[in-house]
Amino acid sequence: MSAVSIEKDQPCVVSKEEYQVMIKPHGSDKLNPLYVIDDAKRAALLKEAESLPSIVVSSAAAANAVMMGAGYFNPLTGYMNKADSLSVADKMVTTKGLFWPVPIVNVVKDAAAIQGKKRIALRDPNVDGNPILAIMDVEAIETFSDDEMKMMTQKIFRTEDPEHPGVAAFSSVGKTCLSGPIQVLSYSYFQSEFPETYRTAYEIREDMTKMGWNKVVAFQTRNPMHRAHEELCRMAYEQLKADGILVHMLLGKLKKGDIPADVRDACIRIMVEKYFAPNSVLITGYGFDMLYAGPREAVLHAVFRQNTGCTHLIVGRDHAGVGDYYGPFDAQTIFHEEVPKGALDIEIFEADHTAWSKKLNRVVMMRDVPDHTKDDFVLLSGTKVRAMLSAGESLPEEFSRPEVAKVLMGYYQSLDEKPEIKLHGHATGA
């Protein structure tokens, strides 16, 4: 058994006619990817960019550019200005009424190098030599006040704790906001380092169109997939009578201790190859840095999964969370309490904590077995999993497929230093 394998051709935008059998992108009838696909035009822009004043952007701003270039952040045409950023943070809507869950910004500490310039080059902080990432038409250079930064931080992350990894990243890049439309000229390191996995939103739509998929459920992950994750995907697929599953992994920066993307990719590929029906799963990845913003990030995940053509997104326990900053199901309740009706076309598949039942000899959602106690489930802490794998001990097959455990064991045993990590046992793996 194997995952779907589709030849990756030269990117091209799916026609409007093909979209008529798929869910529409967010905010428009067709995708508006900002990557300059035409080779000659892109070469001319890269040549122009070398003569433009330039600035090395933050990793977060670079990831925002990659996501806009790939069509994931449709229908945005560039970085948000101060007014839109504050409005989105406060009310999840731009000043013109577009629903959007988090500000998409290019914030810097010092804009002196491009002050007064109307057209600038943005350089990639994550690639040696800081090559050109995009060209930006600067419409405004504005500064957030301390109070405005606090408001945005609190609204996005529900905390101002500097120990929160998302808060730490958000507060470290500066307060000067550069806004305006961009033309994206590179997908940064994602396409070169993950050629078999990185896909744009329009490439995913193309793949789904070729396969005749209309109802598709997306699974977000920043972790390897254990038995609970595998079965959750299968539950959603079967209950929704879906045409396929999009396993969509984050390929950008994570907090210290999270498992590297190449290891996660290997784990997921071998699991899908051996345990899912042929042509039922697309294994893909996207170029973005994790925000750890819990509920707000879950909504962002829904927005850009709609842009890939997915009709449903699995949202489980502590989706996109970290530590104890969010309630276990805050990422589900936000869709009921804060997302306006009709703001999104994609639907949420709400999942509970999922684990192996010793009584039933299968993976279940805990809410479906009220007669169970904690001792009736196979539950392993992240610390225990890491210790077992580092020592070369096999994980219980009820917790992890042996092929997945073998990949993880090789990773842990290859580390010279073994930093503390958390392998999430909850259902989303998000």
Is 205 part of the annotated catalytic residue set?
no
CA distances, 307 to each of 333, 345, 399 (Å): 22, 10, 33
We find that the CATH architecture of domain 31-188 is Roll (3.10)
What does the radius of gyration of the chain's CA atoms come to, in whole angstroms? Answer: 21
pLDDT of res. 417: 53
Token pair for 36: 């300059």
The SS3 call for residue 200 is: coil
Question: Residue ranges of the domains in the chain?
Answer: 31-188, 196-414
Is 130 part of the annotated catalytic residue set?
no
Q: Rounded distance, CA 157 to CA 160, Å?
A: 7
Residues 6+ apart with CB under 8 A from 423: 223, 224, 226, 259, 382, 385, 386
pLDDT truncated to tens, each residue of the chain (430 aa)? Answer: 234 433 333 333 444 444 446 999 999 999 999 999 999 999 999 999 999 999 999 999 999 999 999 999 999 999 999 999 999 999 999 999 999 999 999 999 999 999 999 999 999 999 999 999 999 999 999 999 999 999 999 999 999 999 999 999 999 999 999 999 999 999 999 999 999 999 999 999 999 999 999 999 999 999 899 999 999 999 999 999 999 999 999 999 988 878 899 999 999 999 999 999 999 999 999 999 999 999 999 999 999 999 999 999 999 999 999 999 999 999 999 999 999 999 999 999 999 999 999 999 999 999 999 999 999 999 998 889 989 998 999 999 999 999 999 999 999 998 855 444 443 333 344 5
Query: Annotated catalytic residue: which of 123, 205, 222, 264?
Result: 222
Query: Annotated catalytic residue: which of 64, 81, 106, 223?
Result: 223
pLDDT of res. 13: 42
Token pair for 219: 């699974």
pLDDT of res. 257: 78
Report whether CATH 3.40.50.620 matches the domain 196-414.
yes
pLDDT of res. 20: 42
